[in-house]
């Protein structure tokens, strides 16, 4: 680092590009590695790191490896992750095929709807499933009244896997459809003219051609399976079905007093599983891009006529949307407006606006709403600015530092948001320059920005890659320095991409919940983390009302994004 920082500064007196670059890399590295190393250090202690009685040792690891709950949680995490991959990959790829390659009517309207589950907080979705399809959910009661049975349950390991699988379909969909887009339609037409059905075309021709992208998506979904928190917390905890993240959360209180060392040890175990997966993803993504470029013929796109298969494709789509969007969202909406629910309760008698009144009467909830809006809008803009700065620090520079940053931004991806939040809390408590910020929304913002670094950097770098190098070289040939090129050439060119990134970051920040769980304090309230805390406390009326408000916020972001024609994926 020092050799870069010592580089001569520019003649004009303003800090040179190299100084800026070194500073950006330094700040990023400390924001990412500081909290992580704190977790690592904490996992090798016997008490909280600020406790004078602590000693160094591997007792924490010994404890969790001897705890049958840990193995139970690990097994469930693997099962759920594998199960949801098996569900999400085929379904997501098929939906992508139908949307990209066929003449299905109303595609333009369906596409944003397909992506909705990825923008709604999992905490909200899970809660929606409980009130809609739980043992006494609205749909369950209706089904029992109408048909005498309600042949589903949502609290088993299988049900959780299915729900997780379905709600992760968008993650597969975006990669599969991007790959399909770059595929010429000539091969499909050939298969079609040889008499293959559209389904046959998908299975035997189109999808095999995008295998690398599907493989990437499969690794991504499998990885996301280890990060699940809201879903198992809401659906699995009451039954004692633990996964790694909820096991970690349970350790907060298991010993009566805080067992940070145990939590840190579990976190390190999770990272040991997820970080290799993140690296694998990176490798696969590079492979997929290479593969797609070779394939990328500028072929004329022709939509495949579905014919009699139209109805089947529509049914599949509507079923998917019904289960993942309509059921939970309608459940929450109903619950927010009734006092009590269940068997024998007439919903019209129970109608009330009290939940919303309660939300708007209490300062903490009002502050949570305002903070959530602020962190998405103002915070989102600042975040995009930070990501852009990092993007410029590595843009068109293929040296060791760029590669270092490339890997660096992937690191937070592997750390569960729950623990990243806890590590940031420690940093804000014990790192003096930052302590005044602890009880402000700023602490939440920093944590969010670091946690979503990998996602955001993908958005920014895909914008940067679209700028053709000739434009920058032209500026250079007339004597412009790197800083000037960045400010006057590249930045204006990527402005539309940045606005799109801002909107996507807005939606991601509205949705985020686990990172804030431990950072939640008077002043830092955000809806996502507040929901976890209120759910634990059993204030269900408030949870429903705040969830609905959260959905509305995300909906506004989505509507603006669609209006501006922002691509909802990178």
Partner 1 sequence: MKTWLKTAIGALALVPAAAIAQVPAGYPADYAQTIAAAKKEGKVVIYSALDTKAASPLIKDFSALYPDVKVEYNDMNSTELYNRFIAEVASGQGSADVMWSSAMDLQVKLVDDGQALAYKSPEVAKLPGWSVYKNQAYGTTYEPAVFIYNKRLVSADEVPADHAAFAKLINTKVDKFKGKVTTYDIEKSGVGFMFVVQDTKYFPAMKDIEKGFGATSYRVYSSTGNMLEKVSSGEHLLGYNVLGSYALVRAKKDPNLGVQLPKDYTLVLSRVMFIGKSAKNPNAAKLWVDYILSQRGQKLIGSDVELFSIRDDVDAEYTAAKLNKQMGGTVKPIPVSAEITQMLDSKKRLEFLGAWKAAVAAGGAK
Please identify, using beta-carbon distances, which residue of 142 and 319 lies nearer to partner 1: 142
- For the CB of residue 131, give the shortest distance to partner 1 in the complex, in Å: 9
Please identify, using beta-carbon distances, which residue of 254 and 403 lies nearer to partner 1: 254
325-328 own/partner pairs: CB under 8 Å, 24+ apart: 325/113, 325/116, 325/117, 327/128, 327/129, 327/132, 327/133, 327/139, 328/120, 328/124, 328/125, 328/126, 328/127, 328/128, 328/129, 328/132
CA atoms within 13 A on the CB side of 295: 23
- For the CB of residue 472, give the shortest distance to partner 1 in the complex, in Å: 47
Please identify, using beta-carbon distances, which residue of 125 and 539 lies nearer to partner 1: 539
**Among the listed residues 26, 11, 24, the one whose alpha carbon sits nearest the alpha carbon of residue 481:** 11
- For the CB of residue 259, give the shortest distance to partner 1 in the complex, in Å: 8
d(CA 527, CA 470): 46
Please identify, using beta-carbon distances, which residue of 344 and 565 lies nearer to partner 1: 344
**Are the C-beta atoms of 70 and 251 separated by less than 8 Å?**
no
d(CA 426, CA 441): 16
**Are the C-beta atoms of 235 and 159 separated by less than 8 Å?**
yes
- For the CB of residue 558, give the shortest distance to partner 1 in the complex, in Å: 30
Please identify, using beta-carbon distances, which residue of 306 and 334 lies nearer to partner 1: 334
Please identify, using beta-carbon distances, which residue of 127 and 506 lies nearer to partner 1: 127
What 3-state DSSP class applies to 10?
coil
In 171-223, where do the E strands start and end?
none
Please identify, using beta-carbon distances, which residue of 447 and 504 lies nearer to partner 1: 447
- For the CB of residue 252, give the shortest distance to partner 1 in the complex, in Å: 6
- For the CB of residue 135, give the shortest distance to partner 1 in the complex, in Å: 5
Joined tokens for residue 174: 């975006």
Please identify, using beta-carbon distances, which residue of 69 and 111 lies nearer to partner 1: 69
- For the CB of residue 379, give the shortest distance to partner 1 in the complex, in Å: 23
CA distances in angstroms from 344 to 47, 284, 308, 353, 354, listed in the order given: 51, 54, 44, 21, 21
Task: Measure the CA angle with vertex 448, ends 271 and 110; round to 5°.
Answer: 95
d(CA 171, CA 348): 38
- For the CB of residue 348, give the shortest distance to partner 1 in the complex, in Å: 16
Task: Measure the CA angle with vertex 428, ends 444 and 258; round to 5°.
Answer: 95
- For the CB of residue 569, give the shortest distance to partner 1 in the complex, in Å: 37
Binding residues for partner 1, rule: CB under 8 A, are: 48, 50-51, 134-136, 237-240, 250, 252-259, 339-345, 358, 361-364, 425-426, 429-430, 435, 438, 520-522, 533, 535-540
CA atoms within 13 A on the CB side of 265: 24
d(CA 434, CA 382): 18
Please identify, using beta-carbon distances, which residue of 168 and 438 lies nearer to partner 1: 438
**Among the listed residues 489, 503, 490, 474, the one whose alpha carbon sits nearest the alpha carbon of residue 564:** 503
- For the CB of residue 48, give the shortest distance to partner 1 in the complex, in Å: 7
User: Residue 338's beta-bridge partner residues?
Assistant: 351
Please identify, using beta-carbon distances, which residue of 13 and 240 lies nearer to partner 1: 240
């Amino acid at each position: 680092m020092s050799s870069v920082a010592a580089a001569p500064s520019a003649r004009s007196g303003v800090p040179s590009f190299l100084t800026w670059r070194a500073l950006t890399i330094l700040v990023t590295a400390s924001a990412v590695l500081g909290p992580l190393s704190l977790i690592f250090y904490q996992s090798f202690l016997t008490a909280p790191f600020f406790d004078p009685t602590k000693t160094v040792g591997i007792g924490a690891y010994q404890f969790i490896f001897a705890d049958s709950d840990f193995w139970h949680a690990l097994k469930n995490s693997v099962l759920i992750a594998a199960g949801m991959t098996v569900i999400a990959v085929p379904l997501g790829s098929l939906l992508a095929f139908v949307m990209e390659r066929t003449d299905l009517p109303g595609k333009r309207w369906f596409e944003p709807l397909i992506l909705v589950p990825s923008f709604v907080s999992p905490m909200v979705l899970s809660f929606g499933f409980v009130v809609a399809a739980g043992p006494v959910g609205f749909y369950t009661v209706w089904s029992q009244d109408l048909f005498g049975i309600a042949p589903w349950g949502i609290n088993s390991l299988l049900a959780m896997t299915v729900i997780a699988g379905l709600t992760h379909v968008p993650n597969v969909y975006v990669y599969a459809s991007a790959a399909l887009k770059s595929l010429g339609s000539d091969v499909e037409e050939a298969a079609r003219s040889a008499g293959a059905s559209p389904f046959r075309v998908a299975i035997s021709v189109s999808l095999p051609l995008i295998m690398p992208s599907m493989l990437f998506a499969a690794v991504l979904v499998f990885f996301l399976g280890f990060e699940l928190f809201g879903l198992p917390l809401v659906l699995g905890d009451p039954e004692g079905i633990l996964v790694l993240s909820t096991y970690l959360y349970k350790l907060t209180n298991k010993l009566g007093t805080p067992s940070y060392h145990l939590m840190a040890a579990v976190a390190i175990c999770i990272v040991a599983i997820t970080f290799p997966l993140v690296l694998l993803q990176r490798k696969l993504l590079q492979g997929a891009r290479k593969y797609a470029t070779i394939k990328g013929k500028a072929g004329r796109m022709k939509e495949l006529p579905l014919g009699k298969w139209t109805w089947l494709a529509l049914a599949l789509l509507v079923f998917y949307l019904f289960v993942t969007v309509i059921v939970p969202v309608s459940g929450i909406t109903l619950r927010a407006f009734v006092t009590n629910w269940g068997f024998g309760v007439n919903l019209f008698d129970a109608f009330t606006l009290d939940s919303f009144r309660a939300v708007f009467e209490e300062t903490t909830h009002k502050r949570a709403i305002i903070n959530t809006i602020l962190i998405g809008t103002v915070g989102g803009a600042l975040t995009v600015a930070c990501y852009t700065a990092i993007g410029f620090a590595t843009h068109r520079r293929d040296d060791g530092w760029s590669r270092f940053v490339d890997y660096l931004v992937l690191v937070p991806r592997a750390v569960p948001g729950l623990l990243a939040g806890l590590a940031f809390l420690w940093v804000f408590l014990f790192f003096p320059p930052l302590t005044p910020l602890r009880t402000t929304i700023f602490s939440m913002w920093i944590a969010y920005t670091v946690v979503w670094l990998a996602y955001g950097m993908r958005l920014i770098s895909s914008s940067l890659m679209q700028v053709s190098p000739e434009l920058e070289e032209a500026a250079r040939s007339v004597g412009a320095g790197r800083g000037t090129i960045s400010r006057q050439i590249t930045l204006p060119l990527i402005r539309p991409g940045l606005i799109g990134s801002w909107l996507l970051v807005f939606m991601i920040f509205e949705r985020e919940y686990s990172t804030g769980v431990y950072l939640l304090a008077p002043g830092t309230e955000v809806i996502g983390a507040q929901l976890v805390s209120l759910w634990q406390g059993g204030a269900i009326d408030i949870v429903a009302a705040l969830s609905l408000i959260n959905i509305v916020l995300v909906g506004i972001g989505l509507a603006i994004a669609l209006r501006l024609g922002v691509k909802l994926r990178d």
